[in-house]
Amino acid sequence: AQRVTQPEKLLSVFKGAPVELKCNYSYSGSPELFWYVQYSRQRLQLLLRHISRESIKGFTADLNKGETSFHLKKPFAQEEDSAMYYCALNPYYGGATNKLIFGTGTLLAVQP
Amino acid sequence: GAVVSQHPSRVICKSGTSVKIECRSLDFQATTMFWYRQFPKQSLMLMATSNEGSKATYEQGVEKDKFLINHASLTLSTLTVTSAHPEDSSFYICSADRGTDSYEQYFGPGTRLTVT
């Protein structure tokens, strides 16, 4: 079954500390993976996509097919990074639909 | 660009009545719109995928007669919760994409439905 697992419901770090939000997926094919973010009182928005291999707001994520992981990392957390982060998988990569399967989300709290 | 709106943002209805939620893409044409349901402190659960001019595709376990989806134009999809019950109370979120060449989904702000 297709599944996205985010083991941590809450991750609390101090400003300037490194951050790693974990995401593991279960899928037999070649998935397309994303991180979406939801800041307080705002709507869900795309943070980054594994294909683009970009660094957005200092965040990066590398797809590790061997470990079926797509962890989100940032070397130095900022208070404005506090938000809910969702890992998502599109099992129809390259296909006719952009259906997304979401993980349960991790709330990142960056303390001053 | 790529703004998605939902209306209403919050609705309270009585058990047994029906309620309609609208999802609009304001500045782009949405080939596909998606409807999600989010329970408190839980993930977004995809309910259905709707394409303009065709029937919606429902996820396993979602009652299509309970949650009626209409995608009448490239900028509007509606979700009607029929004969609502208190267990239908939830946060309903829609999203839209620009088509098969676009990977990004643009999300609406959500609609809080409370059935009394």
For the segment B12-24, the average pLDDT, to the nearest whole number, is 96
Judge whether residue B100 has pLDDT over 70: no
Query: B49 and B31 in contact (C-beta within 8 Å)?
Result: no
Query: In 3D, which of B93, B102, B110 has the Cα closest to residue B29?
Result: B102
Half-sphere exposure of B60 (CA within 13 A, CB side): 1
pLDDT at B23 over 80: yes
Q: How far, in whole angstroms, is CA A35 from its chain's centroid?
A: 3
CA distance B13 to chain A (A): 24
Lowest mean pLDDT among A91-100, B33-42, B75-84: A91-100
**Residues A29-36, mean pLDDT to the nearest whole number:** 87
Q: How far is B19 from chain A (nearest CA, A)?
A: 22
Picking from A43, A49, A102, the nearest residue to B103 by CB comes out as: A49
**Distance from C-alpha of A4 to C-alpha of A70, rounded to nearest angstrom:** 10
- For the cut 70, the answer to whether the pLDDT of residue A98 exceeds it is yes
- Residues of chain A in contact with residue B42, where contact means CB-CB under 8 angstroms, are 104
At B103 the pLDDT is: 77
Chain A nearest C-alpha distance from B77 (Å): 16
Q: Which residue has the tokens 């676009």?
A: B102
Vertex A96: Cα angle to A55 and A22 (nearest 5): 35
pLDDT the model gives residue B59: 92
Is A104 in Cβ contact with B43 (below 8 Å)?
Answer: yes
Q: Is B109 on the interface with A (CB under 8 A)?
A: yes
Is the pLDDT score of A47 beyond 70? yes
Cα B98 to chain centroid distance, Å, stands at 16
Is residue A13 within a helix (H) or strand (E), and if so which, with residue range? strand A10-14
**What pLDDT does residue B98 have?**
81
Sequence-ordered list of residues with C-beta below 8 angstroms from that of B33, at least 6 positions apart, any chain: B23, B25, B49, B50, B71, B77, B94, B95, B96
A71 has pLDDT over 90: yes
Reported confidence tier of residue A29, pLDDT bands at 50, 70, 90 = confident
Any chain A CB within 8 A of the CB of B102?
A: yes
Q: Which of B45, B44, B43, B52 has the alpha carbon at shortest distance from B23?
A: B52
Identify the three-state secondary structure at position A79. helix
- Cβ pair A20, A58 in contact under 8 A: no
Q: Residue A81 has what pLDDT?
A: 97
| Share of residues in chain A with pLDDT > 70 (%) | 96
List of chain A residues whose C-beta atoms are within 8 Å of the C-beta of residue B26:
none
Question: Residue A15 pLDDT more than 70?
Answer: yes
**Calpha distance A92→A31 (Å, rounded):** 7
β-strand A19-21 against A72-74: which pairing, if any? antiparallel
Residue A34 CB neighbours (<10 A) = 27
Q: What is the pLDDT at residue A17?
A: 97
Q: pLDDT tens for residues B39-91?
A: 877 789 999 999 888 889 999 999 999 999 998 888 999 999 999 999 999 99
